[in-house]
C-alpha cells in the first residue's frame, strides 16, 4: 500500500515521463513539413503538454507561463505573439485554479499580495505594450537570455524555509502584513512577518514588466523576492506568488486580448490542460517539499531557453 507521500511522487514521475516522451516528438514534428499534419494535432499536443506543466508548476512556485512560452515557442509552429498571449492566459489559469485552495489554507496571504500585485499589474501592462511593439527576433532573443538568467537564478539562489525577520519595516507594520499558516509536513502552525517592503514593491514593478513583455507569468521571480528579500516562509512565498500572478497576468492578458494576440485554438487547449493539471498541483503543494521538482524544472527551462536563444539569433529556425 502506498503512503501519502509516494502517491504525489508517483504522479510527478509519470508526468515527467509523459513530458519527456512528448517533447522530442514535438521537436521532430516542428521541424517536419506542415503538409501532412492535420490541424488538430497541435492543439491536442498542446493540451497534453500543458496538463503536465500544470501539475509541476504550482509546487514549483511558478505560474506555468515561464515553462509554457519557451517550450511552446520553441517546439510548436505558432507565432510568438500568440504564444505570449496564451502564455499569460496559461499562467493566469494555473494561478486562478490554485487560488481558492491557497487562500483558504492560508498558504496565500491577501494582505501580503495586494500591494505587490498593484505595482506589478501596472508594470505588466507597460511590458505587454512594449513586447507587442518590438520586432519578434528581439523579443525571442531577449526571451532566451531571460530564461537562461532564470535558470541561473533558480540554480544558484538559496531559498529558506523559514527566513529570520528581526522585525517588520514601517510600511509592513503599517499595513499589518503578517500571518500564521499550518505547515502539514511539520504538523504545526508557523507565524510569519516580513521586512524590506519598499524594495520588494520596486522589484515587483520590474517583475510585472517582464511578465507582460514575455508572457511568462512571474513566479520564478516572485518567490525569491517574497522569500529572500521580504523574509516570508517558503510555502507562503510560493502560495502568495501564485495568487499575485492571478492579478498581474490578468492586466497584461487584457492587452494581448485587445491587440488580437490571443487565438482561441492555441489558448483554449493550453488553458484547459493547465487548469486540470493545476488542480492536482495545488494539492501536491501541501504534501511534498517545494524543492522536490526544482531540478526537473531547471532542466526543462535550460533546454527551452537555449532553443529560444537559438531561434531568436537565427541559429535554429
Partner 1 sequence: MSATGRRESVVVAAEQLRYACVLDWSMKLGLVVLAAGFLAYVSGILPAQVPLADLPRLWGLPAADYLRVTGMSGGWSWLAMLGTGDALSLAGLALLAGASVPCLLALLPAFAARRDWAYFSIALLLAGVLVLAASGLPGWHG
110 binds partner 1 (CB under 8 A): yes
Torsion angles phi and psi, residue 240, rounded to 5? -70, -35
The residue among 266 and 290 lying less far from partner 1, judged by its C-beta, is 266
Q: Is 211 in the site for partner 1 (CB under 8 A)?
A: no
Applying CB under 8 A, among 24, 100, 170, 314 the residue interacting with partner 1 is: 100
Among 59, 64, 99, 242, binds partner 1 (CB under 8 A): 99
Cell of 13: 514521475
Of 113, 124, 123, nearest in space to 242 by CA: 113
- Going by C-alpha positions, the residue among 54, 132, 68, 66 that lies closest to residue 97 is 54
What's the angle, vertex CA 132, arms to CA 130 and CA 136, rounded to 5? 110
Q: Rule CB under 8 A: is residue 137 a binding residue for partner 1?
A: no
Give yes or no for a contact between 191 and 180, defined as CB atoms under 8 angstroms apart: yes
92: contact with partner 1 by CB under 8 A: yes
Q: Is residue 136 classed exposed, middle or buried when 0-12, 13-18 and 19+ CB atoms within 10 A define those classes? A: middle
Out of 22, 105, 159, 178, name the contact with partner 1 by CB under 8 A. 105
Stretch 216-255: interaction string toward partner 1, x if CB under 8 A: ------------------------------xx--xxxxxx
Q: Which helix (H) or strand (E) holds 213?
A: helix 197-214
**Which of 143, 151, 229, 262 forms a contact with partner 1 (CB under 8 A)?**
262
In what helix (H) or strand (E) does residue 193 lie, and over which residues does it extend?
A: strand 188-193
Q: What are the residues binding partner 1 (CB under 8 A)?
A: 34, 37, 39-40, 42-43, 77-79, 81-82, 85, 89, 92-93, 96-97, 99-100, 103-106, 109-111, 114-115, 117-118, 121-122, 125, 129, 132, 136, 174-175, 180-182, 184, 189, 246-247, 250-255, 257-269, 271-272, 275
Amino acid at each position: 500500500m502506498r503512503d501519502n507521500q509516494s502517491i504525489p511522487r508517483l504522479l510527478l514521475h509519470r508526468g515527467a515521463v509523459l513530458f519527456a516522451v512528448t517533447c522530442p516528438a514535438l521537436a521532430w514534428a516542428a521541424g517536419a513539413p506542415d503538409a501532412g499534419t492535420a490541424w488538430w494535432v497541435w492543439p491536442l499536443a498542446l493540451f497534453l503538454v500543458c496538463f503536465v506543466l500544470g501539475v509541476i508548476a504550482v509546487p514549483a512556485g511558478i505560474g506555468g507561463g515561464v515553462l509554457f512560452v519557451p517550450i511552446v515557442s520553441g517546439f510548436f509552429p505558432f507565432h510568438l505573439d500568440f504564444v505570449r498571449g496564451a502564455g499569460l492566459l496559461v499562467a493566469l489559469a494555473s494561478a486562478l485554479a490554485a487560488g481558492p485552495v491557497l487562500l483558504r489554507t492560508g498558504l496565500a496571504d491577501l494582505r501580503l499580495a495586494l500591494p505587490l500585485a498593484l505595482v506589478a499589474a501596472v508594470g505588466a501592462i507597460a511590458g505587454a505594450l512594449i513586447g507587442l511593439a518590438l520586432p519578434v527576433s528581439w523579443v525571442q532573443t531577449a526571451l532566451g537570455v531571460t530564461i537562461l538568467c532564470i535558470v541561473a537564478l533558480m540554480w544558484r539562489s538559496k531559498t529558506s524555509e523559514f527566513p529570520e525577520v528581526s522585525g517588520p519595516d514601517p510600511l509592513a507594520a503599517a499595513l499589518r502584513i503578517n500571518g500564521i499558516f499550518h505547515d502539514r509536513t511539520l504538523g504545526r502552525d508557523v507565524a510569519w512577518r516580513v521586512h524590506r517592503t519598499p524594495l520588494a514593491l520596486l522589484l515587483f514593478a520590474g517583475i510585472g514588466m517582464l511578465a507582460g513583455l514575455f508572457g511568462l507569468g512571474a513566479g520564478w521571480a516572485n518567490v525569491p523576492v517574497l522569500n529572500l528579500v521580504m523574509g516570508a516562509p517558503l510555502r507562503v512565498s510560493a502560495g502568495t506568488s501564485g495568487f499575485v500572478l492571478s492579478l498581474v497576468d490578468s492586466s497584461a492578458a487584457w492587452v494581448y486580448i485587445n491587440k488580437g494576440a490571443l487565438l482561441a485554438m492555441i489558448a483554449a487547449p493550453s488553458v484547459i490542460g493547465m487548469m486540470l493539471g493545476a488542480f492536482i498541483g495545488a494539492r501536491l503543494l501541501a504534501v511534498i517539499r517545494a524543492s522536490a521538482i526544482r531540478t526537473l524544472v531547471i532542466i526543462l527551462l535550460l533546454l527551452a531557453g537555449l532553443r529560444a536563444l537559438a531561434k531568436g539569433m537565427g541559429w535554429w529556425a
